[in-house]
A and B are shown apart, each in its own frame.
Chain A
Amino acid sequence: MIGIYLIGSFSIAISLFFSKNKNLTVGLLGLFLVLQWILTIYGINNIRSNDFGYFTYDSLAILLLIVISIIAVPAMFHSHIYLNDQPAPPATRSIYYGAIVMLITAISAGYLANHIAVIWIFTEITTLSASALIYHHRNKLALEGTWKYVFICAISITFVFIGILFLSLSLEHAGSDDLTFANLVANSDKLNPFWLKLAFLFIFTGFTAKLGLVPMFTAGVDAKDKAPAPVGALLSSVLMNLGFVGVFRFYVVIANTPLHHWANLVIGIAAVLSIFVSTVYMIKLKNIKRMFAYSSIEHMGIVMLGIAAGGIGYYAAILHIILHAFVKSSMFFQFTQLYRVYQDKSIYHVGNYFKYNTAGAMVLLLGFISATAMPPSGLFVSEFLIFRSLFEAHQIFVLIVVLLLLTMIIWAFGKNIFKILFIPPVDFDDSRVPKISPWESLSQFALLALAVYLGLNPPAEFVNLIKESIMLLPN
C-alpha cells in the first residue's frame, strides 16, 4: 500500500507542478487527500504489519498519521483561499501545490519508516519541499529565511548521518548490520556504549532542527515566519512531530541500555534550555507568527521534559504532541484571516479584532486558552501529567523553574493576544477591511474542539494506541 501511496502522491505532485488549469489543480488536490485517507484507513486496519520492507504501521505511526491526515484537509482548504486572495503567478502557484503535496507525503512516510536511514531520507525530502514553500513570496526576506533554513537543515541532516555512521560502528559489536529499530532494540544489550553515546548526541542534535529544540531551533522560527501561514501550520505541527518521531524511536533503543540516565540528562538540559529561550523571546516579540513559533518551541520543550522524566511522562508526552499539533495548526490557519484584515503581522498595527471578524477572534481566544494549557483545554491534562512525572522523578527544582518560566510565557502571550483582540490600533483605516465569512473559521473550531475532546475524554482505542507506543520503554 505504501508503495502505491508514494508513487501516487509523487505523480500527483509532479502533475500539480505542471498543471496550469485551476479546476484540474483542485481535482488533483482532492485526489491526494483521498489517497492520504486511504493510506490512513489501510494502516488502521493493518496495524502492526510491515509494508514494503522499510515501513511498519506501528501504533505511534498510526496516531501521527491520523493527525496529519486530519490537518491536511484544512491545510489544503486554507491554501486554496490564501492563493486566491493573494494572487501569485501561475508558476508559483503550481510550485506551491506540488511542494505542499510532497511535504505531506514525505512526513507521512517518515512516520511509518522502521529503519533509521529511511527516516533520514524522508527528513531530507521535507527540507527540500519546505524550502520551496518558504520561498513562496520571492522577495529578499523570504530568500533570507529560505537560505537560513536550508543551510541549518543541511548541517543538521549531516549530523544525523554522522550519528547513523557511529550507530553502525556501535552495532558492529553486536555482529549485525541491520539498522531497523526492531533489530536495534533486540540487540540493545550488545551495542557498544561509547559509539552509542556519540551516535545519540549527533542524531539528537540533528533532529532538533525539525523538532524545534535548542540548539538548532533558529532556522525553524524564521521559516514559520516567512512561509505562508497554511504552510506555517504544517511546519509547526506535523513536521515537528516528524522530528519527535526521529528522536523518540532512537530514544527507545537507548532507553533499553545502561545509558538511559545519561540520555535523559541530555534531553532534559535541551528541554529546559528551549523553554528558557522561548520565554526570553516571547516577552520581547512583536511579530505574531514568530510568537506562535516560539510557543511551539516551548511546547516541544515540555514534551521532551516529559520524556526525560519518564513514568507517566511518556504517555503525557505523546498525548501532548498530538494535542499541540491540533491547537497550533488552528492558530496558524486563523492567521491568514487576521492578515487579510490588517495586512500586517506586527502587534503594533493590529487590534480590536473582535470588531472585524468575531468568529476568527473567538478562534484566537480559544486557541490562546488551549495553547497556554488553561483548564478546559486538552493540553492542560497532558501538561499536568508531565509536571506530575517531574514531581515523581524528584526533580522539584526543575519543576519550579519550568513553572516560573511558563507563568512568564502565559503573561507575555496573553498581553499580546488581548491587544490583538480588544485594544483598537492607532491610525488604522477600517474602510477597506474585507468581510470574512465565519465558515472559514469552522475547521479551526473543529480542531480546537478535537483537542479538548481527546484531552478530557479520550476514547479507549486512543489510550490503548498511546500505551502501546510506549510499551518498549522501561518504567
Chain B
Amino acid sequence: MKILVCIKQVPDMESKFKLNAEGNWYDNSDLAWRMNEYDEYAVEQAVQLKEQVADSDLTVLSIGPDRVKEMMKKALAMGCERGAHIADDDFFKKDPYEIASVIAEYAKDKGFDLIFTGMQSQDRGSAQVGVLVAELLGLPSITTIVDFAFDGGQITAKRELEGGIKSIIKATAPALVTCQLGLNTPRYPTLPNIMKAKRKELLSIPVAELLKVEGKQETAKLYFPEKKGGGLVLEGDAGDLADQLIKILKDKTAVLA
C-alpha cells in the first residue's frame, strides 16, 4: 500500500513576530521553526498504518525553502521511508489552492492509497489544503479526525465536532484524511532511527515543475491587531505581584470576600 503524508514547517507560535519589508507576511529570519503540530499527528498515523499493513511504502512531502528538509528528517526518523521536498522560497505567497495543486500534481500518477495531512496549519489556519488535494485527485476525504482505523481497504474515522461530540464516518481507500490534535501520541524519534533517517531518500523537486495554476487570492497586508480594551499589565517581583493581584481581586470580584 502506498501512503503519502504532507507536512508543513511553521514558526514556533511563541515567537516574537516582525513584519517583512513588503508588509505582506512575517519576517522569516530569527524564527525558530518546527513541524506544524497537526502534521505531527498525521505523520504518526501514517507511520502506524505503514506498520500495520505489510509491504507499505510511506512518502513524506513538504513545500518550502531548504530549511524544511530538517523537519522532513524528523518525519523520516519517525518512520517515513522517503521524502519529496518541493523546493519553493516563495511558498508563503501561495494560496491554499496553489499549494494543493502542487501536491495533487505530485501525487496524481503515483497511486497513493491513503493521504494524510494536518487539518490546518498553525500559521495560516485555512483548513483548506487537505480537502482541496482530495478534490483535485477525485478522492473522498474525511476532515478533522480524532480516531482512525483501517481494515481491508475500509477506513473508519471519527470526526471531531463542536462541544465534544464526534461523528463516525466510513470511507473506502483511496482516500485522504486531515488530522486533528489528539488523534494519537506522536512518537519521539530514537537515536538509531535518527541515524538511519540520514541515509533515506530526500529528493528536491523545483516547484515550477509542479505548479500549473494561478492563485485566487493574496495577502494584501499583514499587521498586528489593535490592542483592544487594554487590560492591566502587571510586571515585577512575584511576591509584589501576588499582593497587587489579591488587592485587585478584592476590589473587582466577590471571590475573596
The yes or no verdict on A and B being binding partners is no
Which residues of chain A have a CB within 8 Å of any CB of chain B? none
